[in-house]
């Protein structure tokens, strides 16, 4: 009887502490949302922790240090609204001479992570590049960057106007990490029917997160409205391994009436195989009423997506666990596409596997997690779709794009980006990789290291633009 009474006392104390913590989080969230607009409008702090305005705010307002750190990155200085020529990287792919030109973009440096500076996504509207940083800052940049480089390269600054597009995105955000942590925040942008769609992670309930899409008419002031949100959410404190890195969020235009959205599992792995859940899926969403259906399941964290409308196929790139990044191909005529996660993967579980210097994967398969999520090294043998290519070790695979045959490019080919990090890079990290798709297999795969984390692609008139998040750069391939 005494043991039972002790158990109930401990349980009551635990529930009480949990309630207090939840209330504290709710108060912090509401406080942040209530103050942030006023603070941004009133103060324009510089990018230094010694700024006097920040000290004033900290002393006179009940705002956390984390909130102040987030606020100071939301003020764009006019002196940063420019483009600076950086360098060129010439190379050949299949005997075709190509060139990458890199441009510094100071307005993309509004982020605090040293190894990931300028995390951003790119699309285009009427020959203008639209770029969104993951902390919710939006910019427009003319696409004729190459036409403004001086012949001698002596003039670094390009005579192109960069515009900061104000927005109301803050109306949909109620947690600090959106602005200050790369795990959360904005996940992609997409232009469709003269509108800008923004894929973000929202806090649906206190510390319970989900994928959402906002939409706005394109103008110098973006007035977003909610377009789509997944009704379910993942509670940070009720999930054993909550991780906002595994959230997907990439979008693509499927046809004139639909877009595609990738979702991750927030490391609640079983949801990727749960037919009742929209997590760990590739979704088809109607542009008129936001009705949704599942195109594929069994995805972990798809970071790139390209719709090949001519061939009724969708290409996707997938972040694997410890190894096992994938390039996948979805046939739109198939009804039961399943990429296998977390039952099948060519990677291993973090903390329960390792990859040696030669790229060999070793797994401790006696661990409990492999009983739940076995990560079989065949997809097909267990009824899943095999990736068309996988990478061990992982390369931090990002976006994928197709370049069609034209006067500039004698053959069509695909490009995938890779992120990775300089402190654990492989020969395919921080690179662009090129390949052809012939008779249902990858051919002529070639990697061009550029020393930059490549995040997102956009094609305008045979020019391939991309964002790089190592040093806040915009890249141009032609």
Mean pLDDT of 393-407: 94
Alpha carbon distance 69, 61 (integer Å): 14
Res 111: pLDDT: 61
Write out the H or E segment, with its range, that includes residue 9. Answer: helix 2-42
Q: pLDDT (tens digit, 9 = 90+) per residue, 298-311?
A: 999 999 999 999 99
Question: Rounded to whole angstroms, how far apart are CA atoms 314 and 330?
Answer: 5
Task: State the Cα–Cα distance between residues 446 and 284, nearest whole angstrom.
Answer: 32
Tell me the C-alpha to C-alpha distance, in Å, between residue 297 and each of 148, 153, 271, 366, 438.
Answer: 45, 49, 9, 27, 26
> Does the pLDDT of residue 380 top 90, yes or no?
yes
How open is the CA angle 457-313-452, to the nearest 5 degrees?
A: 20
pLDDT of residue 158: 79
41 pLDDT above the threshold of 60: no
At residue 109, the pLDDT reads 83
Mean pLDDT within 376-385: 98
Q: Are 329 and 317 in contact (CB under 8 A)?
A: no
Lowest mean pLDDT among 42-56, 181-195, 273-287, 301-315: 42-56
- pLDDT of 407: 81
CA separation for the pair 372, 307 (Å, rounded)? 33
Instruction: Summarize pLDDT for 212-246 with one digit per residue, the tens.
Output: 999 999 999 999 999 999 999 999 999 989 999 99
Q: How many percent of the chain have pLDDT more than 90?
A: 66
Q: Name the 3-class secondary structure at 191.
A: strand
Is residue 21 very low, low, confident or very high in pLDDT (cuts 50, 70, 90)? very low
Residue with tokens 């190592």, as numbered in its chain: 470
The answer to pTM > 0.75 is yes
Q: Quote the pLDDT of residue 157.
A: 74
Per residue in 184-193, pLDDT (tens digit) is 899 999 999 9
**pLDDT higher than 80, residue 285:** yes
Tens digit of each residue's pLDDT (9 = 90 or more) over 139-180: 999 999 988 876 656 557 777 889 999 998 988 887 777 877
């Amino acid at each position: 009887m005494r043991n039972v009474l002790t158990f109930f006392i401990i349980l009551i104390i635990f529930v009480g502490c949990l309630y207090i913590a939840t209330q504290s989080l709710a108060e912090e969230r509401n406080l942040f949302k209530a103050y942030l607009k006023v603070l941004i409008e009133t103060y324009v702090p510089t990018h230094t922790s010694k700024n006097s305005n920040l000290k004033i705010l900290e002393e006179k307002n009940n705002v956390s240090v984390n909130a102040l750190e987030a606020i100071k990155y939301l003020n764009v200085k006019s002196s940063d609204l420019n483009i600076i020529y950086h360098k060129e990287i010439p190379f050949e792919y299949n005997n075709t001479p190509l060139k990458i030109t890199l441009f510094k973009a100071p307005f993309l440096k509004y982020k605090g992570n040293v190894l990931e500076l300028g995390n951003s996504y790119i699309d285009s509207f009427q020959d203008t590049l639209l770029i969104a940083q993951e902390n919710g800052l939006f910019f427009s940049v003319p696409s004729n960057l190459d036409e403004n480089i001086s012949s001698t390269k002596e003039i670094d600054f390009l005579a192109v106007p960069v515009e900061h597009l104000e927005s109301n995105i803050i109306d949909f955000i109620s947690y600090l990490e959106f602005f200050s942590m790369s795990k959360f925040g904005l996940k992609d942008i997409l232009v469709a029917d003269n509108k800008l769609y923004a894929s973000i992670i929202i806090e649906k309930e206190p510390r319970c997160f989900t994928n959402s899409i906002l939409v706005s008419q394109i103008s110098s002031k973006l007035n977003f409205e909610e377009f789509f949100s997944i009704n379910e959410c993942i509670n940070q404190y009720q999930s054993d391994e909550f991780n906002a890195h595994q959230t997907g969020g990439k979008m693509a235009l499927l046809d004139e009436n639909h877009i595609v959205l990738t979702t991750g599992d927030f490391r609640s792995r079983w949801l990727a195989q749960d037919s009742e859940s929209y997590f760990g899926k590739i979704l088809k969403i109607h542009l008129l009423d936001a009705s949704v259906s599942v195109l594929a399941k069994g995805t972990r964290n798809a970071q790139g997506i390209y719709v090949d409308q001519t061939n009724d196929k969708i290409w996707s790139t997938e972040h694997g666990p410890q190894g096992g990044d994938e390039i996948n191909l979805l046939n739109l005529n198939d009804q039961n596409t399943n990429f296998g996660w977390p039952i099948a993967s060519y990677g291993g579980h973090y903390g329960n596997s390792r990859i040696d210097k030669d790229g060999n994967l070793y797994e401790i398969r006696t661990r409990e997690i492999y009983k739940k999520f076995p990560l079989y090294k065949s997809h097909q043998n267990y009824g899943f779709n095999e990736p068309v290519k996988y990478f061990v070790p992982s390369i931090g695979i990002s976006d994928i794009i197709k370049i069609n045959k034209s006067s500039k490019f004698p053959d069509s080919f695909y490009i995938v980006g890779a992120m990775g990090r300089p402190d654990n890079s492989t020969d395919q990290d921080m690179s662009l990789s090129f390949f052809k798709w012939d008779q249902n297999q990858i051919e002529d795969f070639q990697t061009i290291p550029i020393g930059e984390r490549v995040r997102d692609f956009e094609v305008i008139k045979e020019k391939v633009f991309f964002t790089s998040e190592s040093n806040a750069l915009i890249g141009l391939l032609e």
